[in-house]
Amino acid sequence: MIIVAGTQRLHPTDLEALRETAKATIAATRAETGCIVYSFAEDLSEPGLVRIYEEWESRDDLARHGKSDHIAAWRAALSKVEILGRELKIIEVAKSEPLA
């Protein structure tokens, strides 16, 4: 399993302007082959901070996601706002199990 986790910081007004495009991107991504979890969460304590969390079955699935039309549309929308910060990392998981 591949995990992508991190943050992206925007002006709060820019985040509001992107909200509908983000919802469409999330819905389309969740329908992709290999997508286990795909989520953006606005931090309640820090306006404009978005926490990103994704789980993918494989790196190939993640790579296909990056080439999708909806991600191209998301990147186009992001190009119209100022990104104040972005920190994402890829984590490869060898094993996972439910927490008892």
Topology given in CATH for the domain delimited by 2-92? Alpha-Beta Plaits (3.30.70)
Q: Give the confidence band of 80 by pLDDT, cuts at 50, 70, 90.
A: very high
Measured CA to CA, the distance from residue 78 to residue 53 in angstroms comes to: 18
The string of pLDDT tens digits covering residues 81-97 is 999 999 999 999 998 89
Q: Is the pLDDT at 100 greater than 90, yes or no?
A: no
Alpha-carbon distance of 4 to 28, in angstroms, equals: 17
HSE (CB half, 13 Å, CA atoms) of 70? 15
Instruction: From residue 58, give the alpha-carbon distance in Å to each of 2, 23, 31, 64.
Output: 6, 23, 15, 10
pLDDT tens digits, one per residue of 19-74:
999 999 999 999 999 999 999 999 999 999 999 999 999 999 999 999 999 999 99
- Could you state, in order of their start, the residue ranges of all structural domains in the chain? 2-92
